[in-house]
Amino acid sequence: MTRIAKDIMVTKLVTLEPETPVLLGIQKLIRSNIKGAPVVDRDRNYLGIFTERCCLNVLTRLLDRRGWAHPAGAGPVTCGDIMTRKLWTLSPQMDAFDAVNFLLAHRISGAPVVDSERRFLGVFSESRSMRVLIGAIYDSLPGAEVRSYMDGNPERLVSEEIGIQEIANRFLTRPYRRLPVVRDRRVLGQVSRQDVLSQASALVDALLKANEGSGRSWTVSAFMDSRARTIDESTDLFSIAGIFRETSRRRLPVLQDERLVGQITRKTLLRAANNVLNRPAAKAVQPLYFASVPDASPPGA
């Protein structure tokens, strides 16, 4: 029996109303630690979605270079100030199925792929995981190494000296959620959209507390993505996989008669596909871990 959206969708969702002040919307995403929230009216009719990208669009309008200043007064915030230094990385020889399992088990959406000298080779992410699992299910493709699926686009790479405003602009103009930070091609860390939003959290709180700033009258409806792709409860998993594989969408609101009833993310679908293949996401797989601090422990250890 073919599984459909209704079988795997998440129904407990954080939502926003269109009249919600945009700064409160940003604050809610940061504090809820979510990447996006559907926007609905009081009858739960779906209107759009408010995402990290929407938040960055607001912040780049609100905060000039002085607004992104370092809290210690040491000049502008740079990529090196906010990047995550403790990272799991993958080797290019790792089995792709094991890499998918590892991402799922550790609830991470991607990891850099490096050689033995920590030189950047690519990124293995949820979108690449989709190709592994969907290919195995529908195209009967054999397993392969991570190197066959990683994205080695050098546009991802940034240096530690780049300012946070430039990083925010890059996230607005590129589909990536994370950018490896390198020096001489060696990975030093990683900066994500969430890192940028976390850095801006104190500034958002201050603006809300003071009830000041040009964004105080802006609402979520002015910045939400009202053209985001949606599906209905009867959409089959193969069709959902096709949407994720062919577009940069990371979540699909599920509607019934224009009302929001749930949501499916890439991770939701990956878990479902993994179950079809009967490959449980075990934590036994151990990719390379490194940190800038010699005695640091792996994330979640």
- Mean pLDDT in consecutive groups of 10 residues from the start of the chain, 301 residues: 88 96 92 94 96 92 62 72 91 91 88 93 91 72 82 92 90 91 94 90 76 69 95 92 86 96 94 71 46 39 36
What pTM value is reported for the model?
Answer: 0.82
Q: What confidence score (pLDDT) does residue 52 get?
A: 94
Query: Hey, what domains does the chain have and what are their CATH numbers?
Result: 5-65+201-264 (3.10.580.10), 79-193+279-290 (3.10.580.10)
User: CB-based contacts of 94: which residues, under 8 Å, 6+ apart?
Assistant: 145, 146, 285, 287
Locate all alpha helices (DSSP H) within the chain, ordered by sequence.
Answer: 5-8, 22-32, 52-62, 79-82, 96-105, 126-138, 164-173, 193-210, 237-246, 266-276
Q: What confidence score (pLDDT) does residue 278 get?
A: 60
Q: What confidence score (pLDDT) does residue 3 get?
A: 86
Q: Can you say whether the dihedral through the CA atoms of 38, 40, 44, 46 is positive or negative?
A: negative
